[in-house]
Chains A and B, each alone.
Chain A
Amino acid sequence: MISKRIYVAWVGIHFFLITAVCFAGLFSLVAERATILPSALDTYARKAELLAASLLGKHAASTSPVRRSIATYLHAAGIQSGYTFFAPNIPGYHKLIFELNYQDGRVEYESPHFSGKAAALRLDSLLARLGDNRYEPLREVVVKMLALSIWRERPDVKKIRATFGLVSPPSISEFEQGKGDSFQPLFSYDFSLRNDEKR
């Protein structure tokens, strides 16, 4: 058996990293005012989040070997993100609707989909990420890819309008009064065929 000291040192580093990841996630929620904690704590939470992130080497240059080593280890061990699932609150869910305009003037509506239930959960995860401001630079690219997948199935579509929005489900009392989901569009993109390329 390798020296117990080596095992203990590894355990120390491993759980130190997990603690830093978990606190970074928790402080981020507080800083974003997503919790019931008073807003006076926001600034402290932001500072604490930055501190936790710096412990994980996230403030080092992207080429820094320390940053890369920590990131590789975190991803390899599956500990790169905290455990704040379904917390602190559950917002509405996001929906992406494609308006398909055919060459003969027909209009159909479609959503991106997988054939299996397990993959459908992943699509929900993708849409939740698209709604997150941190993923804003990727939105158009991802929506374009999703539109492209629809186009492959329906080559006679002339134009696609993609509308991404937030669906707010009713509360229990609203549901009892007969109210259903409400859809609030957040952004939309138009894609059309040009030079055999989907734009």
Chain B
Amino acid sequence: MILLRRQWQKLLEFLFPPETDKWLAVFRIGMGLQVVAYALFLRSDWHSLFSTTGKGLVSRELGEAIASFDSPLIPKLGWLVAFGQNVGLGEETVLSLTWACLLCMGSCLVLGLFCRPAAIIAWFLHVCAAESGGLLAYGADNFMTMALFYLMLSPLPDRYCLDSRLVKTKPTDPRLLGFWRRVLQIHLCFVYFFGGLAKLLGSGWWNGSNLWRSLIRPPFNLLSPDILVRFKYALPVLGISICLIEVGYPVFIWMKKARFFWLVCILAMHAAIGLTMGMYLFALVMIVLNLAAFGVGIRVPWHLAGGTRHSAQFLPKQQLSP
């Protein structure tokens, strides 16, 4: 019984470490930028992506039918269009308003204005868009939905946002802040472990051919194959390194001595994916997630003054829980 109680206490200490809201500010601003970039990148194709049969490239209704097969409760743009029609707005107007609203919510998140409502609306609109364009969705959409879901549930506002300056708010419980950061950290460990494991099971990651294939296939072929050929002996090393960095993430990211190195490797990997394959949205969301989860407050090995401090030491006195 005592052993069980001790384990329970250990679990609570792990899940509820005291934290400052710095990570949340990074997460909020990062996701705000992500939402803004998402809206701007899709600006010219927004109607082609989400219009109904006869107007878009692939009918929105098809994506929504697939989503509804899983569950009719999954949010979709069709709900907004139907609502718009009830108040006399056409499909095109509703889609344009949705786009503008998404851009606006992203800007609000960056500035820290109406943080919680902005996070909820941004999450809702993004889920609607991702599900309605289900056939055209890719990995970045899942990560964006996931990140906005956590952001919406996190204890906003943080003390760096405009909301906190305009309206005096009660300081958030540091253990609640720690809890949501922990959830984010654990989730990233799942992401990289399973991603790395799946890669290790493919022969192409051991001999570099997967890297070659991923970098020369359209629309990811930003680099000339001739340049890649020059580095052909480095490709197997890079391929294996990617697998090891990913599969080792859940172990080494928790080790104080290895954390900085591992984080830099992961960030470099995502930056490289963004720059060499043109997957800017995917790269940005992964960088934001990593910085928020493990980057804020990290010990830089060569920074003499920055010894490891318990996160509670960063807290202003009034924020510490009793």
User: Is A8 among interface residues, defined by CB-CB distance under 8 A?
Assistant: yes
Say whether, besides A15-B186, A114-B45, A175-B229, A78 and B201 are in contact (CB < 8 Å).
no
Residue on A nearest B226 in the bound complex, by CB: A175
Residues 115-157 of A, flagged 1 when their CB comes within 8 A of B and 0 if not, give: 1111111111110010000000010011001101100100000
Q: Is the CB of A72 within 8 A of B71?
A: yes
- Known A-B contacts A11-B15, A148-B54; A26 and B197 likewise in contact (beta carbons under 8 Å): yes
Q: Interface stretch among A47-55, A80-88, A98-106, A182-190?
A: A80-88
**CB-based contact A68/B146 at 8 Å:** no
Task: Give min CB distance, A150 to chain B, whole Å.
Answer: 10
Residue of A nearest to B182 (CB): A11
Give chain A nearest CB distance to B71 CB in angstroms: 4
Check B181 for interface membership: any CB of A closer than 8 A: no
Are A145 and B190 closer than 8 Å at their CB atoms?
no
B149–A77 touching, CB < 8 Å: yes
Q: Is the CB of A82 within 8 A of B194?
A: yes
Given contacts A81-B142, A93-B218, contact A25 B198 (CB under 8 A): yes
A84-B195, A122-B133 are contacts. A142–B62 as well, Cβ < 8 Å? yes
The contact size tier of chain B is: 35 or more
Indicate whether A71 reaches chain B with its CB closer than 8 angstroms.
Answer: yes
* Interface 1/0 per residue, A171-187 and B, CB below 8 Å: 11001100000000000
Q: Does chain B have a CB within 8 A of A30?
A: yes
Chief secondary structure at chain B's binding surface: helix
Judge whether A29 is part of the interface by a CB distance below 8 angstroms.
yes
A residues within 8 A CB of B147? 78
A125 and B73: CB pair below 8 A?
no
Within 8 Å of chain B (Cβ to Cβ): is A1? yes
Complex CA gap A75/B229 in Å reads 41
**Are A89 and B15 in contact, CB atoms less than 8 angstroms apart?**
no
Interface residues of A in 43-97 (CB under 8 A from B): 62, 67-69, 71-72, 75-90, 92-93
Residues of B with Cβ closer than 8 Å to A? Answer: 11-12, 15-16, 41-45, 48-49, 53-54, 56-59, 62, 66-67, 69-75, 127, 130-131, 133, 135-139, 141-149, 173, 175-176, 179, 183, 186-187, 190-192, 194-195, 197-205, 208-210, 212-214, 216-219, 225, 228-229, 232, 235, 278-281
Q: Which 10 A-B pairs have the closest CB atoms?
A: A88-B202, A78-B145, A78-B146, A87-B198, A118-B41, A35-B201, A119-B45, A122-B136, A84-B198, A71-B71
Question: Which residues of A come within 8 Å of B, CB atoms?
Answer: 1, 4, 7-8, 11, 14-15, 18-19, 22, 25-26, 29-30, 34-37, 62, 67-69, 71-72, 75-90, 92-93, 112, 114-126, 129, 138, 141-142, 145-146, 148-149, 152, 167, 169, 171-172, 175-176
